[in-house]
Chain A
Amino acid sequence: MVRGVVVDSLTLNPLSGVTILGEKGYAISDRNGQFNLQIKKTQVFQVSHIGYARFKVRVPHTQSTTLFIKLKPSSTELDEVSVHGKTKERTVRETATVSVSIDEEFLHANRENSLIQTLSKIPGVGSMTIGSGQSKPTIRGLGFNRVSVIQNGIKHEAQQWGSDHGLEIDQYGLEDIRIIKGPASLMYGSDAIAGVVDILPQKVPGKNSFGGDVNLLGETNNDLWAVSAGLQSRKDKWYYRTRLTYRDYADFRVPTDKINYENYIFDLHENHLRNTAGREANFSVSIGRVGENFKFETVVSNVNAKNGFFANAHGLEVRSSNIDYDNSNRDVDLPYHKVNHFKVTHNATMYLGNHKLQLDLGYQNNHREEHSEPVPHGYMPKPPNSRERIFTKNTYTVNAKSLFKKNGGHTISVGLNSEFQNNNIGGWGYLIPAYDRFTIGGYFFDHFELNKNLHLQGGLRYDFGMLKINEHYDWFQTPRDNGDGSTFDIFLQRATNSTLDFGSYSGSLGLSYISGNTTYKFNVGKSFRMLLAHELASDGVNYHMYRYERGSLTLNPESSYQMDVDVSHSGNGYSFGVSPFINFFDNYIYLNPTSDYVETLQVYEYTQAKVFRTGGEVNAGVDVTANLHIYASAEYVFSRQNSGPKEGFTIPFSPPLIGMLSAQYLLGDFGMFKELNLKADLRAAAAQNEIVPPENMTDGYQVVNLALLGTLNLFDEQLPALLKVKLNNIFNTEYYDHTSFYRLIDVPEAGRNLSVSLTINF
């Protein structure tokens, strides 16, 4: 027997999964790069590994010392793998940041109605859903503008602050998503105070390749049908890809025929949540080039969606209407919103010796319209049309980064992020002002490899931001007292012209230590978040929520301190991990319901308070038998306000303790179906009794989902079709999700849903 070890020729790190193939006999290197070959005579072996140049080695059968193979990273593909000379898995272990990588396989096996619902299966990640087709992300209980969603290096910019706004990203065609739990302002800019959902660019297609996929999906609960088709091709250096997605769904069904909201009762027609149908049409095209030491890709994409809102109560406002909603469950009547998000991104990377230069450019146009039946409110007469709120936001982004590998184990990143936003408003309902916002931030970051298994990381960042708010007046007149019993009518001013600027430091320090199969991570950091226009300058009636929202110019930029620990271990057939955190906010900003009234509506004021949070995630997996894998996880966050008007209370939208247990059993092959897997998931949430006005306590629940996954040889044995049959909420359980948009009007989550999806690759 001959023993050997494969390492990267530059970093000398061991390479796992390398194939060593000869005429007789082969081996695959283990995680320490080691392999054994049983040979009786001298022969030549070919050593190959993704991202590395192929290598031939003659192995004499008399070899007694360990065979040492150095693989040279291939320079033409310029993948991240070759640049670091490390596997993605290894890179993640060496990075101190607590992060989770999600691949295409996970996305396929767990795909739900929206991207964020799919991602919410990751412990610590949650979703705020708005009906069946839309959602927005939360990380460890924080959401809205505190989570940055990055796509192709550019921060997605829309009206994230809105409670009925959903993320405008096509969930098909995504290959690689990285989720960072915890403050990540340092590398990602000020909004990433709670974490990041980083959707990485797709992999560059192989040379002389042409391929694509068609995905078909049907669902019973909301009578959804969806199709998404993608194509990609590359000759030598140039490549292109394109994707089209269309989804159309009806009102979703809930396991009740009556909604009891306060003293109101809404009868539901055939369990349909009236007017929650919607549709979505997306396209993207991209063109890219890979050269000897550079690559670039330009992506143009557009997401267009129209979604109805529950007709009986939008927000808290109970509505009667002459619209015949029950006539069709597929049409979208008032109230609804429609959104169009157009995005162009350009990513360029250049390699100069030990330098890697990266430039990301982005332009986004987000146009969102909220429509509702015109109804007089307070002193506002009946508006002329249904255009309640119109937002048009243009965002221009420039990010530049230089990565430099120095001798002595230092990898230094220096970067600059800048962004300009121009937000315009229209419609008869005023909530946030028109504004221009410019931000620029620079950072310095060092990844220091003390030795192979001990890595230190630290960095510092400074951000500067300028916000110019435009004045706004009501379009109708309001009577005001003269003090002598007589009144006069005025157009009330809702926002004044003002310019504000902010600046702040953020920083972080972390280390990772790899000991065999165990990885230890430790991080401390300070993050900050720049104030948003609505936090400063809201001053108007949110009709649907029956409240008067008021901003405050005296708020400070939000700042947060966090300490993280992450320990993960993966052994032979089992794995576990634990990642606790402690987090302090100097001034957490939220919309606080006061005791006061304006025009008989309760005043909600943007308020800041000291907040302490702690919690974390645990997970464990085990291969019970060769065919049965069991995985369990739990997530928990505890929050407490330590100052301000709600001292002693939690913060809004605190998720309950959630546990997930899943079992996957490999059934094997059945006729034309191959690799059939049966998967059962139990999601259990504890009751959430930690609430803050105006929330309601939410009972705990258990919901069970089943899925059958497999492949099917339809046309090509090399590229089998993927089949998925999924039964969600199999017992049609009536349960409430504490962080769902419809929770506040006591609408339960969707009932039983059978979905069938087929992905054909070619």
Chain B
Amino acid sequence: MKKIKKFLCFIMLLFINSCSTDDSASKDVEKPTISIAYSGGFPKGCDQLKRGETYVFRAMVTDNEALASYSLNLHHNFDHHTHDDQVGDCDLNESKSAVNPWIFMQNFSIEESSLEHEIEIELAIPDDIDTGDYHCAYSVTDASGWQGRTSIDIKIVQ
């Protein structure tokens, strides 16, 4: 009986010991957020953009401590390789091969360590690119190296 008592005491000790450490107070454990779900956010899911036109791409990014950089990536989805993370599905065109697809990739940094920032990128859509399904992907990082991402299904039309 004595050895069982000893054993139980040991188990108790173990469990008491295991509930004692917590010091994650000061570290940044929050990812920055990115949203187009406000009146100025552009483009919205399933939007149709015209070749030759100029648009202002807008998204709101926030962080709990300090925003650092963001990027915008536009690439074709002619092969339906992926889909966006917005509410609702868009009708995709027939899949096709790319001839002269539009690729836009640019990185930007956010100067002052702000907590909120509106991305505003003015872009002219070239005249000679393939029309069809495209992806618009925003991403943002904070000073700690956390990243937030969002992607939007759009169409580029004549």
* Residues of A near any B CB (own CB < 8 A): 262-264, 317-322, 373, 375-376, 378-379, 381-382, 546, 571, 573-574, 576, 592-602, 618, 620, 622, 624, 630, 632, 634, 636, 638, 645-646, 648-649, 657, 659, 686, 689-691, 693-694, 697
* Option from B83, B98, B103, B106 in Cβ contact (under 8 Å) with A320: B83
Nearest CB in chain B to that of A596: its residue: B69
B117 contacts chain A at the CB level, 8 A cutoff: no
B40 contacts chain A at the CB level, 8 A cutoff: no
B10 near A620: Cβ-Cβ < 8 Å? yes
B90 contacts chain A at the CB level, 8 A cutoff: no
B115 contacts chain A at the CB level, 8 A cutoff: no
B145 near A648: Cβ-Cβ < 8 Å? no
A620 near B69: Cβ-Cβ < 8 Å? no
Task: Give the shortest distance, in Å, between B18 (CB) and chain A (any CB).
Answer: 5
A593 near B147: Cβ-Cβ < 8 Å? yes
9 pairs, CB–CB < 8 Å, chain A vs chain B: A263-B86, A573-B3, A597-B70, A597-B71, A598-B107, A601-B71, A622-B4, A636-B18, A645-B145
A602 near B141: Cβ-Cβ < 8 Å? yes
Task: Give the shortest distance, in Å, between A455 (CB) and chain B (any CB).
Answer: 28
* Option from A595, A597, A657 in Cβ contact (under 8 Å) with B18: A657
A659 near B81: Cβ-Cβ < 8 Å? no
Task: Give the shortest distance, in Å, between B71 (CB) and chain A (any CB).
Answer: 4
- Within 67-111 of B, Cβ neighbours of A (below 8 Å) are at 68-73, 75-76, 79-83, 85-86, 95, 98, 101, 103, 105-107
Question: How many angstroms between the C-alpha atoms of A110 and B137 in the bound complex?
Answer: 47
Please name all residues of chain B whose beta carbon is closer than 8 Å to the beta carbon of A638 when the two chains form the complex. Answer: 21
* Option from B7, B11, B27, B149 in Cβ contact (under 8 Å) with A262: B149
Question: How many angstroms between the C-alpha atoms of A320 and B89 in the bound complex?
Answer: 13
4 additional A-B pairs beyond A597-B71, A689-B29, A693-B146, beta carbons within 8 Å, are A320-B83, A379-B103, A602-B147, A634-B14
Task: Give the shortest distance, in Å, between B67 (CB) and chain A (any CB).
Answer: 9
Please name all residues of chain A whose beta carbon is closer than 8 Å to the beta carbon of B130 when the two chains form the complex. Answer: none
Please name all residues of chain A whose beta carbon is closer than 8 Å to the beta carbon of B3 when the two chains form the complex. Answer: 571, 573-574, 622
Interface of B is mostly: mixed
* Option from A322, A376, A648 in Cβ contact (under 8 Å) with B26: A648
Question: How many angstroms between the C-alpha atoms of A320 and B71 in the bound complex?
Answer: 23
B73 near A595: Cβ-Cβ < 8 Å? no
Question: How many angstroms between the C-alpha atoms of A579 and B48 in the bound complex?
Answer: 64
Question: How many angstroms between the C-alpha atoms of A263 and B86 in the bound complex?
Answer: 7
Nearest CB in chain A to that of B71: its residue: A600
Question: How many angstroms between the C-alpha atoms of A632 and B7 in the bound complex?
Answer: 9
Question: How many angstroms between the C-alpha atoms of A571 and B4 in the bound complex?
Answer: 12
A595 near B83: Cβ-Cβ < 8 Å? no
Best-surrounded residue of A379, A602, A638, A686 (most CB of chain B within 10 A): A602
* Option from A595, A599, A697 in Cβ contact (under 8 Å) with B143: A595
Task: Give the shortest distance, in Å, between A642 (CB) and chain B (any CB).
Answer: 13
Nearest CB in chain B to that of A547: its residue: B147
A320 near B69: Cβ-Cβ < 8 Å? no
B114 contacts chain A at the CB level, 8 A cutoff: no
Question: How many angstroms between the C-alpha atoms of A416 and B95 in the bound complex?
Answer: 60
Question: How many angstroms between the C-alpha atoms of A576 and B4 in the bound complex?
Answer: 12
Q: A322-B80, A595-B141 are in contact. Are A624 and B4 (CB under 8 A)?
A: yes
B69 near A690: Cβ-Cβ < 8 Å? no
Please name all residues of chain B whose beta carbon is closer than 8 Å to the beta carbon of A622 when the two chains form the complex. Answer: 3-4, 7
B69 near A595: Cβ-Cβ < 8 Å? yes
* Option from A319, A593, A620, A694 in Cβ contact (under 8 Å) with B11: A620
Question: How many angstroms between the C-alpha atoms of A253 and B77 in the bound complex?
Answer: 31
Task: Give the shortest distance, in Å, between B106 (CB) and chain A (any CB).
Answer: 7
Q: A378-B105, A602-B141, A659-B14 are in contact. Are A264 and B146 (CB under 8 A)?
A: no
Question: How many angstroms between the C-alpha atoms of A373 and B80 in the bound complex?
Answer: 12
Please name all residues of chain A whose beta carbon is closer than 8 Å to the beta carbon of B15 when the two chains form the complex. Answer: 659
Question: How many angstroms between the C-alpha atoms of A261 and B148 in the bound complex?
Answer: 13
Nearest CB in chain A to that of B29: its residue: A691
Question: How many angstroms between the C-alpha atoms of A693 and B30 in the bound complex?
Answer: 9
Please name all residues of chain B whose beta carbon is closer than 8 Å to the beta carbon of A318 when the two chains form the complex. Answer: 82-83, 85
B69 near A693: Cβ-Cβ < 8 Å? no
Nearest CB in chain B to that of A593: its residue: B145
* Option from A573, A594, A598, A620 in Cβ contact (under 8 Å) with B145: A594
Please name all residues of chain A whose beta carbon is closer than 8 Å to the beta carbon of B72 when the two chains form the complex. Answer: 600
A262 near B85: Cβ-Cβ < 8 Å? yes
Best-surrounded residue of B68, B71, B143 (most CB of chain A within 10 A): B71
Q: A595-B145, A597-B107, A600-B73 are in contact. Are A634 and B137 (CB under 8 A)?
A: no
- Within 115-150 of B, Cβ neighbours of A (below 8 Å) are at 137, 139, 141-147, 149-150
Please name all residues of chain A whose beta carbon is closer than 8 Å to the beta carbon of B147 when the two chains form the complex. Answer: 593, 602, 693-694
Please name all residues of chain B whose beta carbon is closer than 8 Å to the beta carbon of A376 when the two chains form the complex. Answer: 75-76, 98, 101
Q: A379-B103, A600-B105, A600-B106 are in contact. Are A264 and B85 (CB under 8 A)?
A: yes
Task: Give the shortest distance, in Å, between A575 (CB) and chain B (any CB).
Answer: 10
Please name all residues of chain B whose beta carbon is closer than 8 Å to the beta carbon of A634 when the two chains form the complex. Answer: 14, 18
Task: Give the shortest distance, in Å, between B61 (CB) and chain A (any CB).
Answer: 13
Q: A373-B81, A378-B105, A645-B145 are in contact. Are A630 and B21 (CB under 8 A)?
A: no
A263 near B150: Cβ-Cβ < 8 Å? yes
B24 contacts chain A at the CB level, 8 A cutoff: yes
Please name all residues of chain B whose beta carbon is closer than 8 Å to the beta carbon of A595 when the two chains form the complex. Answer: 68-69, 141-145
Best-surrounded residue of B76, B86, B95, B141 (most CB of chain A within 10 A): B141
Question: How many angstroms between the C-alpha atoms of A553 and B98 in the bound complex?
Answer: 39
Nearest CB in chain A to that of B3: its residue: A574
Please name all residues of chain A whose beta carbon is closer than 8 Å to the beta carbon of B85 when the two chains form the complex. Answer: 262-264, 318
Task: Give the shortest distance, in Å, between A549 (CB) and chain B (any CB).
Answer: 14
Question: How many angstroms between the C-alpha atoms of A599 and B75 in the bound complex?
Answer: 12
A648 near B27: Cβ-Cβ < 8 Å? yes
Please name all residues of chain B whose beta carbon is closer than 8 Å to the beta carbon of A382 when the two chains form the complex. Answer: 79, 98
Task: Give the shortest distance, in Å, between B110 (CB) and chain A (any CB).
Answer: 9
Question: How many angstroms between the C-alpha atoms of A555 and B105 in the bound complex?
Answer: 31
Question: How many angstroms between the C-alpha atoms of A600 and B146 in the bound complex?
Answer: 15
* Option from A319, A573, A602, A691 in Cβ contact (under 8 Å) with B81: A319
Nearest CB in chain B to that of A605: its residue: B145
A618 near B14: Cβ-Cβ < 8 Å? yes
Please name all residues of chain B whose beta carbon is closer than 8 Å to the beta carbon of A375 when the two chains form the complex. Answer: 79, 81
B11 near A632: Cβ-Cβ < 8 Å? yes
Question: How many angstroms between the C-alpha atoms of A251 and B72 in the bound complex?
Answer: 36
Question: How many angstroms between the C-alpha atoms of A363 and B106 in the bound complex?
Answer: 47
B7 near A620: Cβ-Cβ < 8 Å? yes
Nearest CB in chain A to that of B70: its residue: A597
Question: How many angstroms between the C-alpha atoms of A324 and B137 in the bound complex?
Answer: 27
Nearest CB in chain B to that of A574: its residue: B3
Best-surrounded residue of A600, A602, A638 (most CB of chain B within 10 A): A600
Question: How many angstroms between the C-alpha atoms of A483 and B97 in the bound complex?
Answer: 32
Task: Give the shortest distance, in Å, between A618 (CB) and chain B (any CB).
Answer: 6
Please name all residues of chain B whose beta carbon is closer than 8 Å to the beta carbon of A599 when the two chains form the complex. Answer: 105, 107
Q: A320-B82, A600-B72, A620-B7 are in contact. Are A659 and B145 (CB under 8 A)?
A: no
Please name all residues of chain A whose beta carbon is closer than 8 Å to the beta carbon of B10 when the two chains form the complex. Answer: 576, 618, 620, 632
Please name all residues of chain A whose beta carbon is closer than 8 Å to the beta carbon of B145 when the two chains form the complex. Answer: 592-595, 602, 645-646, 693-694
Task: Give the shortest distance, in Å, between B73 (CB) and chain A (any CB).
Answer: 4
Task: Give the shortest distance, in Å, between A487 (CB) and chain B (any CB).
Answer: 12
Please name all residues of chain A whose beta carbon is closer than 8 Å to the beta carbon of B70 when the two chains form the complex. Answer: 597
Q: A602-B141, A632-B11, A636-B18 are in contact. Are A694 and B82 (CB under 8 A)?
A: no
B139 near A600: Cβ-Cβ < 8 Å? yes
Question: How many angstroms between the C-alpha atoms of A697 and B11 in the bound complex?
Answer: 27
Nearest CB in chain B to that of A622: its residue: B7
B69 near A597: Cβ-Cβ < 8 Å? yes
Please name all residues of chain A whose beta carbon is closer than 8 Å to the beta carbon of B68 when the two chains form the complex. Answer: 595-596
Nearest CB in chain B to that of A599: its residue: B105
Nearest CB in chain B to that of A621: its residue: B7
B69 near A686: Cβ-Cβ < 8 Å? no
Question: How many angstroms between the C-alpha atoms of A689 and B26 in the bound complex?
Answer: 13
Best-surrounded residue of A322, A597, A618 (most CB of chain B within 10 A): A597
Please name all residues of chain A whose beta carbon is closer than 8 Å to the beta carbon of B143 when the two chains form the complex. Answer: 595
Q: A574-B3, A574-B6, A593-B147 are in contact. Are A600 and B29 (CB under 8 A)?
A: no
